Amino acid sequence: MTTHQQLSLAITLDDQATFENFYAPNGTPQHMATFLLQDEMRKFAFLSGSSGTGLSHLLQAICQVRVLGKNSEAIYLPLKELFSYSPRDVLDGLESSPMVCVDDFDIVANDNNWQLALFNLFNNCRDKGSRLVIASHQTVDQLNIELADLSSRLKSGVALHLPNFNDADQRRLLQYRCNRRGLYLSDDVAIFLLNRLPRDTHTLMSALDTLDEASLQEQRRLTMPFVKATLSV
């Protein structure tokens, strides 16, 4: 938490949402880290991707690095949690932070009040020299943005699109995250999980949390019988 707004709204970061924990087939984290954390000349980026591709993870990873690694200020705003608030109450003054990360833009993209408030935030960040990253499940061209000046602003920076995961990518994601936890997940068990659980990333990572805890408590490997019994699948 880095601002009064975040404290009052109780916005917290997921400790697991780091660049090290992020998996993408095309090296996205490395490109993002280089651009967003090292290239100080470019002040704006627009990220897009389908649900489950890691948009929220990346935005929080940016904040984790800046706050914990560089001892610098960063703000993370998940608009799906803030849409019911007045946009001015949420966004006013945020340009005072050197890094502002706005998540779930597509949720508010059709709201005129939010469009105007985000347009003002963009201009204020530009004038202040602050960096702004906006993430959306749709590209700018796919969104119905009535405020033409805002649409133009959103196209003015770097546009990065996160690719959808195929079956092999999802299997590798599970194995990568298990490896980060010091666990071995075989191909057969990974495929079993993908066939028996919903494919959304949140559900899959929650299942890994459960397996990790149970494996530690019972000192068991992630065998097929153990996974079936632990998850009741």
pLDDT tens-place string over residues 170-210: 999 999 999 999 999 999 999 999 999 998 888 999 999 99
Would you call 77 helix, strand, or coil by DSSP? strand
In the chain, which residues have pLDDT < 50?
Answer: 1-7
Would you call 224 helix, strand, or coil by DSSP? helix
Residue 65: per-residue pLDDT: 79
Q: What is the domain partition of the chain in residue ranges?
A: 4-162, 167-231
Show the 3-state SS of 160-200: EEECCCCHHHHHHHHHHHHHHCCCCCCHHHHHHHHHHCCCC
**Class at the top of the CATH hierarchy for domain 4-162:** alpha beta
Residue 77: per-residue pLDDT: 96
Residue 31: per-residue pLDDT: 63
Residue 39: per-residue pLDDT: 60
C-alpha pair distances (Å), 4 with each of 1, 52, 111: 8, 30, 25
- Return the CATH number of 167-231, one of 3.40.605.10, 3.30.2310.20, 1.10.8.60, 3.30.300.30: 1.10.8.60
d(CA 174, CA 183): 10
Query: pTM score, two decimals?
Result: 0.85
Residue 7: per-residue pLDDT: 35
Residue 71: per-residue pLDDT: 54
Residue 66: per-residue pLDDT: 72
Q: What is the DSSP letter of 20?
A: T
Residue 10: per-residue pLDDT: 66
